[in-house]
Structures are given as C-alpha cells and as structure tokens.
C-alpha cells in the first residue's frame, strides 16, 4: 500500500538536502578542475607550484565527495532500496571506484611535476579533467534519479 511506503532517505526535505549537497560538491570539484585546466590549456607552465597545490586540494575534495556519496546515498540504497535501485546503486559504486582509480593513478603520476614533463602532463591533465567532468556530470544526473526513485519505491515502513 502507498500509505505503508516510506522514503529511503526520510522526508522529502532530507532527500532534497542530499541532492543539494551532491550538487554543491560536484560544482566545487568542477570549478577546481576547470580553473586548473584553463591554466594548463593556456600553457601557463610558470604555474606548476599552484597546479600541484590545487591538484592536492582536488584529491582531498574528491575523497570527501566519494565518502559522502557512498555513505549517504549509494550504501543506503544497496542495503535498503528496491531491487532495481540496488542494481543502479551498485553500478554507480563500481563506476565511482573506477574513476577514483583513474584519478588516483593520474595524481600519483604527477605528484612531483617538473617543467621538463610539462608536455606529457599537459596532455594527460586535459584528457583526465575532461573525462572526470563528464563522469561527474553523468553521475550527478544519476544521483538525482536515484534519490527520486527512492521516494517512489522506498520500501515498507520500518
């Protein structure tokens, strides 16, 4: 019965707050990446120290975002969601972990960036940032849908 259903994330306001938090975290990551990408695309090699610092800040932010989305969105759906939502959340977790590995490898490659490596770094950075931006955009759309589905198919009242 509809009367017996309850949203997986609590009241609509709680679900909306999760969506806003995901949007805020993705927007911050996108701003950080786009700013750094502009410097690299403009061939601003003199900004190596700034780029290294911003890369570290981005890594910290992406780890925080990963903990948020897994702990507050994906894992609750996997544990308590409808069968269809569980499948979606598991796929999203795997995609997220794969992207985390891509970024982690990129971060490790360029942790100690020097001017002599600029051409390779430049190509890799632009390609990696473009891939991450596309992933985050698609992931955010999927998170919005997952949160919406949780309201429609939240499961029995607990």
Chain segment 69-82, per-residue pLDDT in tens: 999 999 999 999 88
> What SS3 state is found at 101?
helix
Whole-model pTM: value is 0.89
**Every domain of the chain and the residues it spans:** 2-152
Tokens linked to 53 = 């610092």
pLDDT at residue number 6: 55
pLDDT at residue number 134: 98
pLDDT at residue number 33: 98
Separation CA 38–CA 54 (nearest Å): 13
Give the chain's residues under pLDDT 70: 1-6, 151-158
In the Cβ-directed half-sphere of 145, how many Cα atoms lie within 13 Å? 12
């Amino acid at each position: 019965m509809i009367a017996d259903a309850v949203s997986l994330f609590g009241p609509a306001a709680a679900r909306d707050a999760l969506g806003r938090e995901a949007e805020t975290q993705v927007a911050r990551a996108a701003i950080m990446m786009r700013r750094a990408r502009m410097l690299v695309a403009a061939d601003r090699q003199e900004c190596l120290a700034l780029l290294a610092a911003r890369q570290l800040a981005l890594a910290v932010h992406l780890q925080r975002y990963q903990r948020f989305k897994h702990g507050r969105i994906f894992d609750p759906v996997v544990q308590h969601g409808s069968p269809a939502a569980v499948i979606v959340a598991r796929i999203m977790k795997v995609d997220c972990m794969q992207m985390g590995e891509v970024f982690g490898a990129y971060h490790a490659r360029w942790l100690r960036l020097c001017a002599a490596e600029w051409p390779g770094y430049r190509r890799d950075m632009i390609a990696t940032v473009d891939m991450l931006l596309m992933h985050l955009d698609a992931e955010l759309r999927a998170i919005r849908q997952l949160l919406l589905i949780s309201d429609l198919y939240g499961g029995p009242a607990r």
